Structure 1
Amino acid sequence: MKFAAALMLMLMLPLIACGRVPLDKPEGGEIWAVLVAGSDGWYNYRHQSDICHAYQILKANGIPDDHIVVMMVDDIADNDQNPYPGKIINHPSGDDVYAGVPKDYAGRHVTVENFFKVLRGDANGLQGIGSGKVINSGPNDRIFINMDDHGSPGLFCFPHENMMANDFAKLVKELKQDNKFKEMLVYMESCYSGSMFQDLFPDDMGFYALSAASPYESSMAAYCSGPLATCLGDLFSVSWMEDVESKDPSTELLKENFEITRTRTDLSDVLQWGQTSIENEVVAAFMGGKGSNTSPVKKYTAEERKATAVPSQDVPLITLQNQLKSAKNLEEKAHLSNEISALNKRRSLVKHVMEKIALTVSGDEKLVKELMTKRQEKITAWDCYGDAVDAFHNNCFTLGKSTYALTVVPTLLNMCEAGYSTNAIVEATKKVCVFPTMHNAY
């Protein structure tokens, strides 16, 4: 026995010396994945493109379809504005990433409730909904979650509703208590995505996450200069995926993927959360281990990638401007110019509405500017903030479809953290937003 133990130690020493922990595959341990694009509409092409690309990577790495759940509205591939019907690309010279992607939950089935049921393994609750596929994970299993959409402090958008960070954290802790996973890895692409994890996850529960941005900033869209008028991907997402594709996942550490992704995503602050020691495991532990290395696309330099990137909230404007540049006649140019003008008016309305809400609540014009601009270091008033977000979402602007409105949501947080009552904020949204709830304030 002593000889066997010594021999094993000798075999492991080269791996330990270079920082690579052998892939732990306990008996019965499996990999499960949930891929979520929470948006819809042509302007949000990149979210479904990212998720489709992630699926192709997992599939190529040997994870079977019955262990991958995909949630996306699925309105891009056959969109009237798509010059390549039935196809989606994630890179200017990339191949189709849409082919073969399961549409487990599409259209109206892309909801927070269904996402939670999928993770809980609630097959009964999903009978007759989409594919009904769920995560049937156990205590030795690993779960990889990749989510792409818009966000604001402490929330991640779905098409018609919002997932609050404290609710997501509560779910993950519930899953851990129910022995639904050994380890969980989350890659989240959204503005303010760091706020979805900040102070919410202990460092000893097997949960590890990367956020595309800090709790205080926008994330960045990428490949916004062609061949389509809109952005093909998100900078964080294409960075981690193009790295994974070019490496052997059985030898690359999550730490290496993080460092490369952080370097390439240099227009926002990519951060780690939770049990960061998991970074010493190999990528294959969560994404499969075949390592096809099949990425055929031209690699962009850091300068080229940065030149094609824009803040996420500006994608609708950039898309219209790109379309205007390529307009073929005066009539089309006039139409697009009017669209740009209307977009800018809606943006002005968003700011005006939030200013009026803040004034109604505070009653002090001098305080309004502070409430509109102050940066909160963390979220503590979760109950107030959740109710305020719901009121603004239901009475003023549907946040998942009115992405510019997300830029003023921090004002709601500032009011809650300043001690103003939930009722005062909710009533202010009703008083100010006398117009029908808007779905296009992007």
Structure 2
Amino acid sequence: MACAVLTAVAAGSQAQQQQRIAEFLHSDSHTNNWAVLVCTSRFWFNYRHIANTMSMYRTVKRMGIPDSHIILMLADDVACNPRNCYPGTVYDHPQKTTDLYGDNVEVDYRGYEVTVENFIRLLTGRVEAHTPRNKRLLSDDKSNIFIYMTGHGGEDFLKFQDSEEINSYDIADAMQQMWEKKRYREILFMIDTCQANTMFSKFYAPNVLSIGSSRKGENSYSHYHDRDIGASVIDRFTYYNLEFFESVDLSSKHTMADLISTYNTTLIGSHPGVRTDLFARKLEETYLTDFFGAVQRVELTNEPFPIGRKRASA
């Protein structure tokens, strides 16, 4: 009888210990970060939109997100454009200190692949069966996703390469599908375009934090103009975001509230908007690295994994 009691106590203690371990490991269900970076413009006079996207691409890579978790959608018609007096390069500053194009750029959707249909299919996972891995958003319910878009837009719409448009309802419905299909944990949606804040006005999916460059009726302005290149090389809203990101690294404790507090309407030339009603956490408790940093956490599973199992002979 005593042995039976001791066995039951031991079994109970072991079960409690396993439960505590499981609770510890699952205390934060955030295990991976993704970035979807979309330039919806093409042609030489939209150089700044390509530079916006390439600058953001450089930043998310520097902060730890690998290329395998970055989807880059880009017309890619600037670096080798005949008008480019610096062939094979893209710069975001007249001093040309950093070549954004360089040798380590992976463009996943290039040229006329940058369409509304492909963008919606990417988000919702409704891609063709033969779609390669680099063109898929392989996120799950443990994923935080940073979505950045830039281009020419207006009230509730954004142009795609001057041939089609996506509207705020399209993106709102796509995000709801993503939530229902458990394709994300949290989303940070950032957009730099004219009347940008209208693009997230129709969102209704949970756990989405949205930031835009300008109010309804306002324009999004360019920043630096490069006389050698003959075009503006970056937009103001994106420039000041990137300026803040340069002070952030993997060990940073800067929060989304810190970023938003730096927005200066005089410098930006418009009124950036932030929508937080769909986002569950406080901005003061949301670290920038929650979306931009490398995340490496172990996830506990009760399913057996056949380590060391010998292969069957041919």
Normalising by the smaller structure, the TM-score range is 0.7 to 0.9
Name 1:111's counterpart in structure 2.
115
Structure 2: which amino acid aligns with 1:79? N
In the TM superposition, what whole-angstrom CA distance separates every residue of 1:275-331 from its partner, at most 9, and x where no partner exists?
A: 3545231111111159xxxxxxxxxxxxxxxxxxxxxxxxxxxxxxxxxxxxxxxxx
1:283 to 2:284 alignment? no
Give the whole-Å Cα distance in 2 for the aligned partners of 1:115 and 1:268: 27
Q: Please give the TM-score of this superposition, normalised by the length of structure 2.
A: 0.78
Q: 1:106 to 1:126 in 2, by over 3 A?
A: farther
Structure 1 unaligned segments of length 5 or more: list them.
1-23, 291-442
Name 2:178's counterpart in structure 1.
175
Identity %: 29
Q: Please give the TM-score of this superposition, normalised by the length of structure 1.
A: 0.56
Structure 1: which amino acid aligns with 2:169? N
Give the whole-Å Cα distance in 2 for the aligned partners of 1:244 and 1:192: 24
**Alignment size in residue pairs:** 263
Within 5 Å, which residues of 2 pair with 1:159-170? 159=161, 160-170=163-173
Give the whole-Å Cα distance in 2 for the aligned partners of 1:231 and 1:135: 31
In the TM superposition, what whole-angstrom CA distance separates every residue of 1:377-433 from its partner, at most 9, and x where no partner exists?
A: xxxxxxxxxxxxxxxxxxxxxxxxxxxxxxxxxxxxxxxxxxxxxxxxxxxxxxxxx
Structure 1: which amino acid aligns with 2:290? A
Q: Per-residue deviation at 1:176?
A: 1.0
Structure 1: which amino acid aligns with 2:198? S
CA contact (8 A) 1:117 1:126 kept: no
In the TM superposition, what whole-angstrom CA distance separates every residue of 1:120-175 from its partner, at most 9, and x where no partner exists?
A: 233435627xx752111111210001111000111011112110111110111111
Q: Which has the higher strand share?
A: 2
Name 2:206's counterpart in structure 1.
205
Give the whole-Å Cα distance in 1 for the aligned partners of 2:158 and 2:129: 23
Q: 1:68 to 1:81 in 2, by over 3 A?
A: same
Q: Per-residue deviation at 1:115?
A: 0.8
Name 1:68's counterpart in structure 2.
70
In the TM superposition, what whole-angstrom CA distance separates every residue of 1:35-73 from its partner, at most 9, and x where no partner exists?
A: 000000111001111111111111111111110000011
SS of residue in 2 equivalent to 1:124: coil
Give the whole-Å Cα distance in 1 for the aligned partners of 2:231 and 2:294: 33
Within 5 Å, which residues of 2 pair with 1:328-339? none
Q: Per-residue deviation at 1:257?
A: 1.1
Q: Which has the higher helix share?
A: 1
Over aligned residues, Cα RMSD in angstroms? 2.2
SS of residue in 1 equivalent to 2:135: coil
Give the whole-Å Cα distance in 2 for the aligned partners of 1:132 and 1:124: 13
Name 1:86's counterpart in structure 2.
88
Name 1:326's counterpart in structure 2.
none
Structure 1: which amino acid aligns with 2:111? G
Q: 1:66 to 1:259 in 2, by over 3 A?
A: same
Name 1:48's counterpart in structure 2.
50
Give the whole-Å Cα distance in 2 for the aligned partners of 1:133 and 1:32: 13
Name 1:394's counterpart in structure 2.
none
Name 1:316's counterpart in structure 2.
none
Q: Per-residue deviation at 1:254?
A: 1.1
CA contact (8 A) 1:165 1:196 kept: yes
